[in-house]
Amino acid sequence: MKNINFTLGMGTFRRQDKVAYDSVKMALEEGYRHIDTAQIYGNEAEVGQAIADSGIPRDELFITTKVWFEAFSEDKFVESVKESLSKLKIDYVDLLLIHWPSPQDEVDMTLYLNELKKTKKMGLAREIGISNFTIALTQQALDILGEGELFTNQIEVHPYLQNDKLVDYCQANGIQVTGYMPFAYGKVLANETLKSIAEKNQISTAQLVIQWLAQRDIITIPSSTKRKNLRSNFEQVSVKLSDADMNYIAELDCNDRQANPDFSPKWDL
């Protein structure tokens, strides 16, 4: 694994065209080295151009993309990854994920996970993982690939959806957790409990959420189009949240899921 900080990355979900380019360029200028995108986001080319224009050496970057389920078949999977790499203007991604499990198991998991593993053997991806997999689906993936193959499970995690059971399961099985949508589209940043804890610790509410995730050993990929927010989110805070603070935040969990499309698996409760 590269000796760079990939525990806090820059997410690009819903960022399009020049907005995607500008936000990634700013993030890299502010010190981010982990950039997360996906085939379905439709912004890999803009993300790739921003990376290329940054002039940052490839070995100092950690780039993630995700394969959409329409490319899960044996004749499409590897070609879709090569297309992503072409758009990103790179020879490999540091992390390649299955974006969502196949809806209603239309494509057998053994097939598409073996295609995922193949991309690693081919050198197209350094690490492989999954996203939006439940406990049962993660166990199925482990049974197929074996221990040590899955780098991460990227799932929604924020104070309103803490996903404790799934987080604990993954971490107990040697799978790192990457939490996306840490601010729940900004909803949690307006929470009065979080605001008061942040004020007491002399940090922003966003920094509080990022620190809360860090203390749970969760990688996170917040997104912003504003330089001041990118800078503030990336700033290293010299604060360790107390057990009392962590417990107050734990009480905010209300299963308020933001990403719940009609093809979602049956979520863990």
Binding-site residue ranges for substrate: 99
Task: Please enumerate, by residue number, every residue annotated as part of a binding site.
Answer: 99
Token pair of 212, please?
A: 């809360």
* Residues annotated as part of the active site: 41
- One-letter amino acid at 66 equals K
> Which residue, among 251, 220, 246, 244, has the nearest Cα to 233 in the 3D structure?
220
Sheet with 218-220, edge to edge strand ranges? 10-11, 34-36, 62-67, 93-98, 125-131, 150-156, 176-180, 218-220
Measured CA to CA in angstroms, residue 183 lies from 6, 14, 72, 101, 170 at distances of 19, 15, 30, 24, 22
> Which residue, among 211, 207, 167, 205, has the nearest Cα to 188 in the 3D structure?
205
- One-letter amino acid at 258 equals Q
Beta bridge pairs of residue 157: none
Contact 88, 48 (CB under 8 A): yes
Contact 93, 125 (CB under 8 A): yes
Task: Sort strands 93-98 and 34-36 into parallel, antiparallel or unpaired.
Answer: unpaired
